[in-house]
Amino acid sequence: MPAEHLPSVAKAALGGDLVIQRMENWAAGAGTVEVTIGSVPGRLDGAFTITDNGSGSKLTLTGEVKVSIPLMGGKLEKMIAEQVAVLIDKESEFTSRWLANRG
């Protein structure tokens, strides 16, 4: 996320753009995710599950964001969790469109 779109507290902590790096590991409808946030001393650890919802499937992510910066950590944790959710939603929309165009 470009720095100009970040809240001032995030700009101060990051010193630039918000860069989210993600590593996923999948096996048989479930997976884990590890997210690091550029130069911020923090991370998100979580788990994915895919379940049948009748007409398709449902992807669920549960996880925890932890940022170890006194006074600012809580605000950054909330912002990072929101941005990861937006990223996953956009990826889901893209994948649905991509699959629909090839079906």
Read off the pLDDT of residues 43-92 as tens digits, 9 standing for 90 and up.
889 999 989 988 888 888 899 989 888 877 888 788 878 878 888 889 88
DSSP state of 2: -
**10-40, pLDDT tens digit by residue?**
777 777 777 878 899 999 889 999 988 777 7
Cα–Cα distance, 93 to 25 (Å, whole number): 21
- The pTM of the full predicted model, rounded to 2 decimals, is 0.69
